[in-house]
């Protein structure tokens, strides 16, 4: 794909994903949805009954990439690779997404305290008729957390837009006793999988 524009469209509002793409030298423009993903029924983040965490993360990431392609056409934007991603937590088979409010964030952190959980980040890229995806799965183990430190963390506001109510790249790093897998995947965009997907679609990386 020698004629492929050496920029992509990022279908995400996440500042973490922007930072991670910049880290590996990927040039991008934001492709914002109308009012955030939760406002667009085409890309609902509600889990389906009985849906496994792996299937959920891949389905949502692919839906975001497809919807990004439609927005690209509707807005008469340059036809570029569209990249989207979705991160969720798996705690004993249960999908844990973003907290609804501070009380929910505190409840989620209480459940994660002293335990291991899985972090799943699916990445999807779409260009013309092609759409590809990959799934990164990592394990994170929290140390035992006190009520006071969980409340202090929730009061910072950091958990409110993050799957599992924490950001490993932020203040919650002090909660993490061990990780197995991809640090960038836990942060929201697994760079190894992302680079391979972009390369397969012809992006010069």
Cα distance between residue 172 and residue 202, in whole Å:
36
What's the rounded Cα separation, in Å, for the pair 26 and 133?
18
* Of 79, 88, 87, 96, the residue nearest 31 (C-alpha): 79
Compute the Cα dihedral for 173, 178, 182, 185 and give only its sign: negative
CA angle, corner 69, sides to 187 and 43, nearest 5? 60
Could you give the CA distance from residue 42 to residue 16 in angstroms, rounded to a whole number?
24
**108: which 2 tokens?**
């989620």
Q: Catalytic pick from 86, 92, 147, 161? A: 86
Among this protein's residues, is 86 annotated catalytic? yes
CA trace torsion 22, 77, 32, 135 (10° rounding): -60
Q: Which residues pair with 138 in a beta bridge?
A: 119
**Cα 181–chain centre separation:** 15
Catalytic residue numbers read: 86
């Amino acid at each position: 794909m020698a004629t492929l524009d050496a920029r992509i469209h990022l279908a995400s509002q996440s500042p973490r994903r922007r930072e991670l793409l910049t880290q590996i030298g990927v040039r991008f423009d934001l492709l914002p949805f109308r009012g955030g993903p939760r406002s667009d029924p085409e890309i609902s983040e509600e889990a389906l009954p009985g849906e496994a965490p792996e299937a959920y993360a891949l389905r949502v990431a692919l839906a975001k990439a497809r919807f990004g392609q439609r927005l690209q056409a509707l807005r008469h934007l340059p036809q570029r690779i569209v990249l989207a991603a979705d991160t969720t937590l798996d705690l004993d088979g249960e999908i844990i997404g973003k907290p609804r409010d501070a009380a929910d964030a505190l409840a989620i952190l209480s459940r994660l305290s002293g335990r291991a959980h899985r972090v799943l980040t699916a990445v999807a890229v779409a260009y013309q008729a092609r759409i590809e995806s990959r799934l990164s799965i990592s394990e994170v183990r929290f140390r035992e957390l006190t009520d006071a430190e969980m409340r202090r963390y929730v009061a910072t506001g950091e958990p409110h837009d993050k799957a599992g109510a924490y950001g490993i790249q932020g203040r919650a790093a002090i909660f993490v006793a061990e990780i197995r897998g991809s640090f960038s995947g836990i942060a929201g965009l697994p760079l190894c999988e992302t680079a391979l997907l972009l390369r397969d679609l012809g992006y010069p990386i």
